[in-house]
Structure 1
Amino acid sequence: MPDIFANVAVGIIKGLVYAYDFVTWPIYFLVFSPVYKLSKSNRIKARPENDDPGKPWRSVDSDHLVTTLIPGCDTVDELFKRAVDNYGPNRCLGKRELLSEEDEKQPSGKVFKKAIFGKYSWWNYEEVYEKVTNFGAGLLLLGLKPGEKIVIFAETSPEWIIAAQACLKYNFPIVTLYATLGEEAVQYGVNETEVSIVITSYAQVHKFKDTLPNMPTVQHIIYIEHPDHSKTPDTKDFPTNVRVHSMLDVEQEGANNKIEEGTCPKTKSSDLAVIMYTSGSTGPPKGVLLSHGNLMSAIAGQCNRVGHLGLGDVYIAYLPLAHVLELTAELACLAHGVALGYSSPQTITDQSTRIKRGSKGDATVLKPTLLAAVPLIADRLYKNVWEKVNEGSLFSRKLFHFAYNYKLAKYESGNSTPIIDRLVFKRVRAILGGRLRLMLCGGAPLSADSQRFMNILFCCPVGQGYGLTETAGAGTVHEATDRSTGRVGAPVICCQVLLRDWEEGGYTPYDEPNPRGEILIGGGNVAMGYYKNEEKTTEDFLTIDGIRYFCTGDIGEFKEDGCLQIIDRKKDLVKLQAGEYVSLSKVETALKMHPLIDNVCLYGDSGQNYTVALICPNMKNLKQLASGLGLDTGDMDSVCHSKIVEKEMMKAVNEEGKKAKLNRSEIPQKVTVVSDQWTPDEGLVTDAFKLKRKPIFNKYEGLIKAMYNSK
């Protein structure tokens, strides 16, 4: 009977909705202009020079490559000073007060820190600029000279961007290191750049205890204070020649000894701004040299495509600032007077791992309008929403599916659904604060399913961008009005894209029906090269017709409207024994969509005729499956290694592979389920959650060989 009631109730709702559509259609058509929206979505966005697909492709929105956001502002510090002059009393940087913290023991025996936070407190633009000026003066008083480098090794926070703006103002090139790096990697970055000052956080100071004797150039450690300012780091075993300061002390010293404007040489567009170490997904990290001009070009390109940034916007800042996506996003927001509220992946939503149950996550309190994400986080949101839906009653599931499919059909025909959005999807929007107007994903390919799903549920454009550290994060960006999925948009106005033949993969710009080839990005955003690595610089960078290009190694295809789709990657391509090529990342992106799979790493041995896969399961869904199979879920390690679970996971892989229309040769023939969670702290994924294939292979080499050796 409940089934009948659910079906009748949903049937009545459908009837009312369709009747409402019929009655209001003429008015709706005139007011909301779906035909116009579709024309905007389908417009030509980029063209090749002389209509020759072998020539560079450029945006149709500019007849030249733009190098600055604001004429007359040639450096990042000038751009921020202009923002201070224009938006001085407005909110600039905000963070939440830590009210309390406690240990919470999990069923697995692990102990997690759970926290309760208060409201956001804010510094306005004028206050931030004063802190920037004073901190920079304090660095000068410590003996740092313009042109000398300084390391920032800390978690994303307002203090990080204040330190960065101070360095950019006084012409101290910043060396960025991910806060999750181990002691050995930090030592490598510090020693290669020969810095005398390291800025870090209270939580990271301990990492220098044993390594400072191996960092001969370091003279000063500056730490960002703990929220409880009475706590100071334990530095009693530090070398006596290294002085340790709090950031506030350095700032106060600068305030007490003002440096007159003009004392330091004015920064130039060609000056080095950042040495940004890549995340090292394919080997040792490389230091990418980014000038002020590179960053200014990238910001100009990104802002033109995103558009309409302003005082009404609030950006939630939580991705690593050592990643080019987050750094340029924050600099672009600051240029337009946007308020930046700081968060972390562990506190962003009410369900985040560090938020005490029953208290509010950062997005609920901040109510952001703008958010940047990496695909892994977007895919997790996708899965979490589906889990909530499937846990609901039969009526709620049927209503959700009807509402979703109804809105999807309307969306693809250029229509809006304000009533459905308010009645059905309001609770989903509330996960990220309820005011989100734009979400942009970058760092890796976002699946078309996740992109479309979030377009519908969060009731805002969810676009993809494509760029690299070597292009200052700029390349292509999906337009907010573009209703397509699975593509990364057209070139932004600061750069152009050239497709180059790749014979081994069989790609050429003259392929039919669409041009394909290796993506080369050229323009003022392209980096100066790699730090102390002339050989790799010569290999990856080149100049054609006076334009500097970076050779990405990614394979792209231009669609009819000038949008780019990433279809392959040279380094991810494995040739199997029978001659078939398999794109590892393409298969991994597809398989991660299954509810049982949180992450997957594909491995292909060129001496074999099939691939194998290591799978990190979704523990919640795996536990439910195991319970249904009669397995003891008290020991999830044993569950993961169970042959029954392995068989079920193989079934899931085949199911998702067929759904994604993968070829037989692309679907792994054997899988191993691992109980480890792949995190940046473990060194198996980057801070942008890209797989580190070599470390993964090294850790699981025995399991990979066992899969190939087993019958």
Structure 2
Amino acid sequence: MVEYIIPKVFQETVANNREKVALRYKEEGVYKDILYNEFGERVHNTALGLLTLGVEFQHRVSIISKNRPEWAIADQGIQMLGAINVPIYDTLNAPQMAYIIDNSEGIVIFCEDEAQLDKVIQIKEKVKSLQKVVVMDPVPPDKKLDYVLTFDELMALGKSEQAKYEPVLQENLAKIKEDDLCSLVYTSGTTGPPKGVMLTHKNFMSNVFETLKTVPINSDDCVLSFLPLSHVLERMAGYYSMICVGGTIGYAVSIDTVGDNMGEVQPTFMVSVPRLYEKMYARILEKVESDSPLKQKIFHWATSVGTEYLIAQKKGETSLLLNIQFAIADHLVFSKLKQRTGGKLRFFVSGGAPLAKHLGEFFASAGILILEGYGLTESSPVITANRIENHKFGSVGLPIPGVEVKIAEDGEILARGPNIMKGYYKNEEATREALEEIEGDIWLHTGDIGHLDEDGFLFITDRKKEIIVMSNGKNVAPQPIENLLKSNKYISQAILIGNNRKYMAALIAPDFDQLNRFAQEKDLSISDPEELVTTSEVRALFDNEIEELMQDLPRYEKVKKYHLLPRDLSQEDGELTPTLKAKRKVIDQHFAKEIENLYEE
């Protein structure tokens, strides 16, 4: 029987893959490798070092850093001594960081660099539990305070004190149980203050092993990691899953370099939120539109053949002629698209938010399958997933083994299984709202609305709390309409407005690459975005585009008025979570005047 304890799974993988590449990172312009034996040695010294700092069994230790080898080394070191990892998004400011460390009573924090150290120095005196800070990058002399040490110093300290602390480490490792907490993961707070989700070793490891039964990942696989490791999806799918199978993790330098890093790392699969696929789709179409009429014709022919081939293949009805056509389409078009992903990609994984159906269909027609799944931080995270051999576009797949899904009377999705959290840390009221005992079993209220089709595939309609209730009593799910708007090449982001209003409206952030191209075609010599979005030509363009998009919707769901934003919504302005979900309350506050103008008589 598999023992669902993270450090024991890790130790077994290290023992079986000592000379295999575990981690790849870019330094001074080239990718460098860390083998599993070196990975294991650094983890061991990190765990010993933490013991020398006074970290004990089930103590809380935070990590605030972008994805890099030290994140995984710190995490495994924390797990090895039975402590609890409290990851913090590196985009959070000092007060937000302070809230999480204080609420979790963290005693040590790993931070990436001088910028993150500065945040810690700001809040150190306010957070009484915090004792030590471990910095991954070199520390300037003026900031080498008595409570600050570097990661290298921590590992050296652990190695020098091994004789004293090794027995303690082995004792801690031996007493870890599957139901012990391994992490407190604070939600990104789209609807209020962050809540600490209590996740156990069994929550994570059961989710990994059961998902691996449905999504074929093995020791030959390599993942490009760029979705924040503070996000449970990346941590489970792009990190713990790879550790379990002995695969290789390559770290992207940043989200802006993902395209280049794909070519360098040559991943066999990647995990992302839909925003990446939306941007890839927009760039592909932009490239096609700039091509010659002949190349455009070839592209559209190839995607139509790809779609026909996909349907026939699923039915097991491909013909010799269709096989030949698809091979030609692949040679002329699809192979070039695949080469941009590194040339070895087997599939993408999408989660965190609904993926628009047309995106899944488009990439699949080009021979690049996006496996959409569904889950929450509270479910470690996977509840359902599409399979390579059994998928439906627009759905989030079938429940993974060991997890059950049912739909409540009000349409809310409920789930139960070994992956469901213990509750929210120090928040019994929120725990009671999320976890309900039904006929002797604990079910998680997901807060999402959806339905199961006749084959058991789950379809998400919207967030329960985000359903728009109009003044006429009509209920509108915003996400499908927002996805419809974003399918237009001129629209980058869309936020639907309409609560307690008599008609629907929208805030729209244009795709300024496309809009600037339009402006050039119309001889509009305007470079200022604020001025550009107010021109009559641009307004006429969006009037026509939105009217066409809305034509098949019921009258009450149609966007009657809209406001064009002069910029994208951003994390920096607090309008998006680190996983790029819209914070609707913040957006409503930031654009309160513009929204009111949409409803002026």
Normalising by structure 2, we get a TM-score of 0.94
Alignment of 1:74-473 (within 5 A): 74-98=4-28, 117-118=29-30, 120-202=31-113, 203-225=115-137, 231-233=138-140, 236=143, 243-258=147-162, 259-260=165-166, 262-264=170-172, 265-307=174-216, 309-329=217-237, 330-350=239-259, 361-414=260-313, 415=318, 417-457=326-366, 459-473=367-381
| Residue 670, structure 1, aligned to residue 564, structure 2 | no
> Which string of whole-angstrom CA distances, capped at 9 and with x for unpartnered residues, describes residues 75-95 of structure 1?
111111111122221110110
Q: CA deviation at 1:612?
A: 1.5
Q: Distance in 1 between matches of 2:352 and 2:90?
A: 18
Q: How many residues are treated as equivalent by the alignment?
A: 584
> Which string of whole-angstrom CA distances, capped at 9 and with x for unpartnered residues, describes residues 87-126 of structure 1?
221110110123xxxxxxxxxxxxxxxxxx22x2111111
Which residue number corresponds to residue 705 of structure 1? Answer: 596
Residue 264 of structure 2 aligns to a residue whose secondary structure is helix
Q: Which consecutive residues of structure 2, in runs of 5 or more, have no partner in the other structure?
A: none
Which residue number corresponds to residue 513 of structure 2? Answer: 620
Q: CA deviation at 1:500?
A: 0.7
Q: CA deviation at 1:561?
A: 1.5
> Which string of whole-angstrom CA distances, capped at 9 and with x for unpartnered residues, describes residues 601-646 of structure 1?
111131x211221111111111122233443322122112335423
Q: Classify 1:499/1:605 alpha carbon distance in 2 versus 1 (closer, same or farther; 3 Å).
A: closer
| Residue 694, structure 1, aligned to residue 585, structure 2 | yes
Q: Distance in 2 between matches of 1:466 and 1:233?
A: 43
**Which letter maps to 1:448?**
K
Contact kept, 8 Å, 2:64 with 2:87, in 1: the verdict is: yes
Q: CA deviation at 1:128?
A: 0.4
**Which letter maps to 1:88?**
R
2:441 to 547, 561, 565: 547
**Which letter maps to 2:5?**
T
Q: Distance in 2 between matches of 1:677 and 1:137?
A: 46
Which residue number corresponds to residue 106 of structure 1? Answer: none
Q: Distance in 1 between matches of 2:140 and 2:571?
A: 24
Alignment of 1:484-499 (within 5 A): 484-499=392-407
Contact kept, 8 Å, 2:226 with 2:255, in 1: the verdict is: no
Q: Distance in 1 between matches of 2:254 and 2:360?
A: 20
Residue 81 of structure 1 aligns to a residue whose secondary structure is helix
Contact kept, 8 Å, 1:614 with 1:674, in 2: the verdict is: yes
Q: Distance in 2 between matches of 1:213 and 1:652?
A: 54
> Which string of whole-angstrom CA distances, capped at 9 and with x for unpartnered residues, describes residues 310-364 of structure 1?
22211111100010100001101110011000014534445xxxxxxxxxx1110
Q: CA deviation at 1:647?
A: 3.8
**Which letter maps to 1:695?**
V
Q: CA deviation at 1:233?
A: 4.0
Residue 128 of structure 2 aligns to a residue whose secondary structure is coil
Q: Distance in 2 between matches of 1:235 and 1:665?
A: 62
**Which letter maps to 1:683?**
G
Q: Distance in 1 between matches of 2:78 and 2:441?
A: 29
Q: Distance in 2 between matches of 1:311 and 1:127?
A: 18
Q: Distance in 2 between matches of 1:396 and 1:455?
A: 20
Residue 214 of structure 1 aligns to a residue whose secondary structure is coil
Q: Classify 1:670/1:139 alpha carbon distance in 2 versus 1 (closer, same or farther; 3 Å).
A: same
Contact kept, 8 Å, 1:317 with 1:344, in 2: the verdict is: no
Q: CA deviation at 1:235?
A: 5.1
**Which letter maps to 2:434?**
D
Q: CA deviation at 1:147?
A: 1.2
Q: Classify 1:419/1:257 alpha carbon distance in 2 versus 1 (closer, same or farther; 3 Å).
A: farther
Q: Distance in 2 between matches of 1:208 and 1:286?
A: 21
Normalising by structure 1, we get a TM-score of 0.80
Q: Which consecutive residues of structure 1, in runs of 5 or more, have no partner in the other structure?
A: 1-70, 99-116, 226-230, 351-360, 503-516
Q: Distance in 1 between matches of 2:390 and 2:553?
A: 26
Alignment of 1:23-102 (within 5 A): 71-98=1-28
1:534 to 406, 409, 428: 428
Contact kept, 8 Å, 2:391 with 2:397, in 1: the verdict is: no
Q: Percent identity?
A: 30
**Which letter maps to 1:432?**
T
| Residue 601, structure 1, aligned to residue 487, structure 2 | no
Residue 50 of structure 2 aligns to a residue whose secondary structure is helix
Which residue number corresponds to residue 543 of structure 2? Answer: 650
Q: Distance in 2 between matches of 1:170 and 1:588?
A: 46
Q: Distance in 2 between matches of 1:316 and 1:346?
A: 11
Contact kept, 8 Å, 2:3 with 2:178, in 1: the verdict is: no
Q: Distance in 1 between matches of 2:536 and 2:477?
A: 28
> Which string of whole-angstrom CA distances, capped at 9 and with x for unpartnered residues, describes residues 493-539 of structure 1?
1310011101xxxxxxxxxxxxxx21101011000001111001001
Residue 444 of structure 1 aligns to a residue whose secondary structure is coil
Contact kept, 8 Å, 1:461 with 1:481, in 2: the verdict is: no
**Which letter maps to 2:474?**
E
Alignment of 1:497-536 (within 5 A): 497-502=405-410, 517-536=411-430
Q: Classify 1:234/1:680 alpha carbon distance in 2 versus 1 (closer, same or farther; 3 Å).
A: farther
**Which letter maps to 1:166?**
G
Which residue number corresponds to residue 525 of structure 2? Answer: 632
RMSD between aligned residues: 1.7
